[in-house]
Structure 1
Amino acid sequence: MSLLKVTDLTKKFGKFTALDRINLEVDKGEIVGFIGPNGAGKSTAIRILLGILKATDGDVKIFDKDAWRDAVAIHKSIAYVPGDVNLWPNLTGGEVIDLFVKLNGTVNNAKREELIKKFDLDPSKKCRTYSKGNRQKVALVAAFSSEADLYILDEPTSGLDPLMEKVFQECVMELKSQGKSVLLSSHILSEVEKLCDRVSIIRQGKIIESGSLSELRHLTRTQMLVDTKQPITGLNELEGMHEIEEGEHGVSFQVETAQIDPVIKHISQFGIIKIESAPPTLEDLFMRHYEGKETEGGEVH
Structure 2
Amino acid sequence: MAQPVVSLQHLQKRFGHFQALKDVTLTVNAGEVFGFIGPNGAGKSTTIRTLLGILKKSGGEATIFGKDVWQDAVWIHKRLAYVPGDVYLWPNLSGGEVIDFLLKLNGQRHSAATDALIQDFALDVTKKCRTYSKGNRQKVALIAAFSTAADLYIFDEPTSGLDPLMEAVFQKHVRALKTAGKSVLLSSHILSEVERMCDRIGIIRAGEVIETGSLADMRHLSRTQIKVTTSQDPSAIQQLAAVHGFTQTGSQISFAVDSEQLNTVLTALTPLGIQQLQSTPPTLEDLFLRYYHQQEAQS
Normalising by the smaller structure, the TM-score range is over 0.9
RMSD between aligned residues: 1.6
1:135-167 deviations in Å (ceiling 9; x for gaps): 010010000000000000000110100011001
Q: Contact between 1:10 and 1:57, CA under 8 Å: does it hold in 2?
A: yes
TM-score if structure 2 supplies the norm length? Answer: 0.95
Q: Contact between 1:78 and 1:150, CA under 8 Å: does it hold in 2?
A: yes
Unmatched tracts of structure 2, length 5 or more:
none
Query: What's 2:47 paired with?
Result: 45
What percent identity do the matched residue pairs reach?
Answer: 58
Q: Any residues of structure 2 matched to 1:1-301 within 5 Å, and which?
A: 1=2, 2-247=4-249, 250-292=252-294, 301=299
Q: Contact between 2:83 and 2:145, CA under 8 Å: does it hold in 1?
A: yes
TM-superposed CA distance for 1:243, in Å, is 1.9
SS where residue 227 of structure 1 aligns?
strand
TM-superposed CA distance for 1:271, in Å, is 2.1
SS where residue 114 of structure 1 aligns?
helix
CA 1:294–1:91 in 2, change beyond 3 Å: closer, same or farther?
Answer: closer
Q: Which amino acid aligns with 1:141?
A: I
Runs of 4+ in 1 over 6 A off after TM superposition: none
Output the CA distance in 2 between the equivalents of 1:130 and 1:212: 37
SS where residue 218 of structure 1 aligns?
helix
Output the CA distance in 1 between the equivalents of 2:164 and 2:56: 36
Q: Contact between 1:6 and 1:60, CA under 8 Å: does it hold in 2?
A: yes
1:229-259 deviations in Å (ceiling 9; x for gaps): 2211431443522222223672111111122
SS where residue 269 of structure 1 aligns?
helix
Q: Contact between 1:20 and 1:206, CA under 8 Å: does it hold in 2?
A: yes
Output the CA distance in 1 between the equivalents of 2:260 and 2:74: 48
TM-score if structure 1 supplies the norm length? Answer: 0.95
TM-superposed CA distance for 1:37, in Å, is 0.3
Q: Contact between 1:225 and 1:277, CA under 8 Å: does it hold in 2?
A: yes
Deviates more, 1:251-260 or 1:187-196: 251-260
Q: Contact between 2:121 and 2:166, CA under 8 Å: does it hold in 1?
A: yes
Q: Which amino acid aligns with 1:43?
A: S
Output the CA distance in 2 between the equivalents of 1:22 and 1:80: 20
Output the CA distance in 1 between the equivalents of 2:86 and 2:73: 22
Count of aligned positions: 297
CA 1:4–1:126 in 2, change beyond 3 Å: closer, same or farther?
Answer: same
Q: Which amino acid aligns with 1:114?
A: A
1:112-140 deviations in Å (ceiling 9; x for gaps): 00000000000110000000110010010
Deviates more, 1:106-115 or 1:40-49: 106-115
